[in-house]
């Protein structure tokens, strides 16, 4: 049971004993005590005054005295300041928590709650490589999934690959026109980058053809429709939908190149999936439900045969769900796939990690499913996040100005190497160890920087700032972990941390602060899971690392005042390292033992 839960239960029991009334956790608040006051936790009394008809000072003293008298092993003192009852946790309670948990590498994680949750993220197109935006999406989706697991949920990590459509055919046509049979192997290029180059080539050729047609007297609209390369692409899409063997073979070959490239990137950045859906398998889903919606008069047809839904009662206007020629639109397959997910996996929640530009689309999806009478409409959750840009501005993949994920990781590795060499503490590392360290620091810097911001906020990624060893960064936390490991190696933790520790009667302020901060980890995991917000973890672990550094600069571990203090600080160090490692793992970040 967490400290706050203990305080809550004790306060409810004490209030009931004192005033012969029933109370609940909703009747008062418990906060951390403000730094300017003495205490660890504060009970806010204002909401109790009207019911109990007592002054704040009298109420606070009566409740505080009762808590100290009846829970002497947990509370050591109290004070009342203007309606706030500040409570100090007994040293014995803190050292007991430390003794019981300092070796527990799973501290803070919950047992199974039997809830099954699907988290869908990444969802790339197979006409280009992953880029910076995909990195935020992958890091966010993966981390949320791991946080939900740590909170006791059964989690299924999924992705849907957008592997069909006009944009895919653009790369295919450009390859036919310009590649002369080239392959990723012959070009010595990753498959996703190779195919992405032809998507850019398509756009370049299309622009030129449109310009030529305009110069010959066509209007811009006419030129865009009549450009030969666009007509070829549209024909290829029809051929694909009609299962033309040659087109399907080329499609499979080029997608295969892209998948190989994606897999290499996913493996490098530590992103994985339990199941992958493919649009080529799902784009026909949903049509049966469209007919069901028509039968129930939930949907309606227009004169051109297209099928729509009127969501004006939800301030969402009308939405097309099937074209007049009977072909699907995105919402059609999304309806079918959403239903398939719940039917196949019996989910308690389905989370879509999708950018905030899709807010309207996701609202429409939920409303259509609700109007179709599906019982799981309210179990669909859109984890919306803001777009990420570089300091140089927005990215456009069709113009070839997108920042590829692989290139960005390479740049970060180079920056990590430069910063690490400046510190001059890796002279005894082998080349292999150095390369592994640079990769670990680079990915840690990227992930931490992209996850430390609330997902709902748009953000600018600054590569140089992200890898500052002294800032609000992943490398700062990684360095703190490595520092603790160095301390533990020097004092031989295997022998010392197992030694008996006498009762500590006088914990110093920073020792107390650290143990209290460590105890909060379980609540932090719960908060991050409830909010689906990894920045809760990132902020916590950064502040924990910062607090440990303050503690270590004030108090020696190896040369402590006596053996009891030495063993106490070793336990604090071990537990701090375990929680840093655990928290960083929830963010997808490795921590090095040396750096």
Claim to verify: residue 417 and residue 503 sit in the same structural domain: yes
Residue 505 lies inside a defined structural domain of this protein: yes
pLDDT at 393: 52
Claim to verify: residue 55 and residue 188 sit in the same structural domain: no
As a whole number, the mean pLDDT across the chain is 93
pLDDT digits (tens, 9 = 90+) for 16-32: 999 999 999 999 999 99
Residue 37 lies inside a defined structural domain of this protein: yes
pLDDT at 401: 56
The residues pairing with 320 across neighbouring beta strands, listed in sequence order, are 308
Residue scoring higher pLDDT (502 or 101): 101
Claim to verify: residue 540 and residue 427 sit in the same structural domain: yes
Domain boundary among 238, 260, 278: 278
Claim to verify: residue 435 and residue 581 sit in the same structural domain: yes
pLDDT at 491: 86
Residue 105 lies inside a defined structural domain of this protein: no
Q: Rg of the chain over CA atoms, in angstroms?
A: 30
pLDDT at 391: 80
Give the C-alpha distances (Å, rounded to integers) separating 303 from 246, 289, 295. Answer: 37, 20, 17
Domain boundary among 38, 54, 89: 89
User: What does the alpha-carbon distance between residue 235 and residue 176 come to, in Å, rounded to a whole number?
Assistant: 14
The residues pairing with 77 across neighbouring beta strands, listed in sequence order, are 88
Q: What is the DSSP string of 505-516?
A: S---HHHHHHHH
Q: Closest by alpha carbon to 136, among 268, 264, 269? A: 269
Claim to verify: residue 182 and residue 82 sit in the same structural domain: no
Residue 67 lies inside a defined structural domain of this protein: yes
Q: Which tokens hold the place of 217?
A: 């007297």
Q: Count the domains in the chain.
A: 3
Claim to verify: residue 84 and residue 178 sit in the same structural domain: no
Contact 119, 354 (CB under 8 A): no
pLDDT digits (tens, 9 = 90+) for 560-588: 999 999 999 999 999 999 999 999 999 99
Q: What is the CATH number of the domain that holds 570?
A: 1.10.730.10
Residue 342 lies inside a defined structural domain of this protein: no
Residue 190 lies inside a defined structural domain of this protein: yes
User: What does the alpha-carbon distance between residue 121 and residue 141 come to, in Å, rounded to a whole number?
Assistant: 5
Residue 352 DSSP symbol: E
pLDDT digits (tens, 9 = 90+) for 396-407: 444 445 788 999
Residue 191 lies inside a defined structural domain of this protein: yes
Range of the domain at 46: 3-89
User: What does the alpha-carbon distance between residue 233 and residue 174 come to, in Å, rounded to a whole number?
Assistant: 9
Claim to verify: residue 435 and residue 565 sit in the same structural domain: yes
Q: Closest by alpha carbon to 384, among 410, 403, 369, 366? A: 366
In this prediction, residue 501 has a pLDDT band, given cuts at 50, 70 and 90, of very low
pLDDT digits (tens, 9 = 90+) for 153-211: 999 999 999 999 999 999 999 999 999 999 999 999 999 999 999 999 999 999 999 99
Percent of residues, the chain, with pLDDT higher than 70? 96
Q: Which tokens hold the place of 397?
A: 């993949």
Claim to verify: residue 573 and residue 435 sit in the same structural domain: yes
Give yes or no for residue 412 having a pLDDT over 90.
Answer: yes
Q: What is the CATH number of the domain that holds 58?
A: 3.30.1360.70
What is the DSSP pairing of strand 75-81 with strand 307-310? unpaired
User: What does the alpha-carbon distance between residue 167 and residue 228 come to, in Å, rounded to a whole number?
Assistant: 16
In this prediction, residue 499 has a pLDDT band, given cuts at 50, 70 and 90, of very low
Domain boundary among 32, 66, 89: 89
Residue scoring higher pLDDT (480 or 505): 480
Residue 256 φ/ψ, nearest 5 degrees: -60, -40
Claim to verify: residue 55 and residue 198 sit in the same structural domain: no
Query: What is this structure's pTM?
Result: 0.93
Claim to verify: residue 172 and residue 51 sit in the same structural domain: no
What would the mean pLDDT of 32-44 be, rounded to a whole number?
95
What would the mean pLDDT of 371-400 be, rounded to a whole number?
79
Contact 311, 192 (CB under 8 A): no
Claim to verify: residue 45 and residue 180 sit in the same structural domain: no
Claim to verify: residue 549 and residue 463 sit in the same structural domain: yes
What would the mean pLDDT of 340-362 be, rounded to a whole number?
96
Residue scoring higher pLDDT (83 or 503): 83
Contact 195, 127 (CB under 8 A): yes
Percent of residues, the chain, with pLDDT higher than 90? 88
What would the mean pLDDT of 431-459 be, rounded to a whole number?
96
Q: By three-state DSSP, how is residue 146 classified?
A: helix
Give yes or no for residue 495 having a pLDDT over 60.
Answer: no
Residue 285 lies inside a defined structural domain of this protein: no
């Amino acid at each position: 049971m967490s400290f706050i839960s203990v305080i809550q239960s004790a306060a409810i029991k004490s209030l009931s004993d004192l005033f012969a009334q029933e109370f609940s956790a909703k009747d008062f608040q418990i906060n951390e005590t403000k730094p300017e006051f003495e205490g660890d936790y504060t009970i806010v009394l204002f909401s109790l005054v009207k019911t109990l008809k007592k002054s704040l000072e009298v109420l606070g003293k009566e409740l505080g005295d009762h808590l100290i008298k009846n829970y002497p092993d947990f509370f050591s003192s109290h004070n009342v300041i203007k309606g706030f009852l500040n409570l100090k946790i007994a040293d014995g309670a803190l050292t007991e928590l430390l003794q019981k948990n300092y070796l527990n590498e799973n501290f803070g994680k919950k047992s199974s709650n039997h809830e099954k949750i699907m988290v869908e993220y990444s969802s790339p197109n197979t006409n280009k490589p992953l880029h910076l935006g995909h990195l935020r999406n992958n890091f966010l989706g993966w981390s949320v999934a791991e946080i939900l697991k740590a909170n006791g949920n059964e989690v299924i990590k999924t992705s849907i690959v957008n592997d069909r459509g006009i944009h895919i055919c653009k790369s295919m046509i450009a390859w036919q026109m310009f590649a002369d049979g080239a392959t990723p192997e012959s070009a010595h290029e990753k498959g996703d980058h190779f195919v992405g180059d032809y998507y850019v080539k398509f756009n370049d050729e299309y622009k030129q053809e449109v310009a030529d047609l305009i110069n010959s007297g066509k209007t811009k609209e006419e030129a865009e429709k009549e450009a030969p390369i666009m007509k070829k692409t549209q024909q290829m899409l029809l051929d694909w939908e009609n299962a033309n063997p040659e087109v399907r073979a080329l499609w499979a070959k080029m997608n295969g190149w892209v998948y190989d490239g994606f897999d290499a990137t996913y493996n490098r950045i530590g992103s994985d999936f339990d199941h992958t859906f493919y649009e080529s398998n799902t784009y026909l889903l949903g049509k049966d439900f469209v007919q069901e919606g028509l039968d129930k008069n939930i949907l309606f047809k227009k004169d051109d045969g297209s099928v729509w839904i009127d969501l004006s009662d939800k301030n969402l206007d009308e939405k097309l769900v099937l074209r007049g020629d009977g072909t699907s639109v995105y919402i059609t397959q999304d309806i079918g796939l959403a239903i398939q997910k719940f039917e196949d996996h019996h989910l308690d929640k389905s989370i879509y990690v999708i950018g905030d530009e899709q807010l309207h689309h996701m609202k429409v999806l939920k409303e259509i499913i609700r109007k179709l009478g599906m019982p799981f409409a309210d179990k669909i959750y859109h984890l919306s996040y803001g777009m990420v840009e570089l300091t140089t501005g927005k990215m456009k993949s069709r113009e070839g100005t997108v920042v590829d994920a692989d290139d960005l990781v390479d740049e970060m590795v180079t920056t990590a190497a430069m910063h690490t060499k400046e510190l001059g503490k890796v002279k005894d590392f082998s080349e292999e160890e150095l390369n592994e360290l640079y990769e670990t620091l680079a990915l840690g810097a990227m992930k931490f920087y992209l996850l430390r911001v609330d997902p709902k906020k748009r953000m600018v990624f600054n590569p140089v700032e992200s890898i500052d060893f002294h800032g609000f960064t992943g490398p700062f936390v990684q360095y703190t972990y490595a520092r603790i490991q160095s301390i533990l190696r020097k004092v031989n933790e295997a022998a010392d941390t197992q030694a008996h520790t006498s009762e500590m009667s006088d914990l110093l302020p920073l020792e107390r602060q650290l143990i209290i901060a460590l105890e909060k980890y379980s609540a932090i995991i719960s908060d991050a899971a409830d909010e689906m917000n990894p920045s809760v973890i990132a902020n916590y672990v950064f502040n924990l690392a910062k607090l440990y550094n303050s503690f270590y600069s004030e108090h020696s571990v190896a040369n402590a005042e006596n053996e009891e203090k030495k063993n106490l600080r070793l336990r604090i160090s071990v537990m701090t390292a375990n929680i840093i490692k655990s928290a960083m793992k929830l963010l997808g970040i490795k921590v090095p033992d040396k750096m």
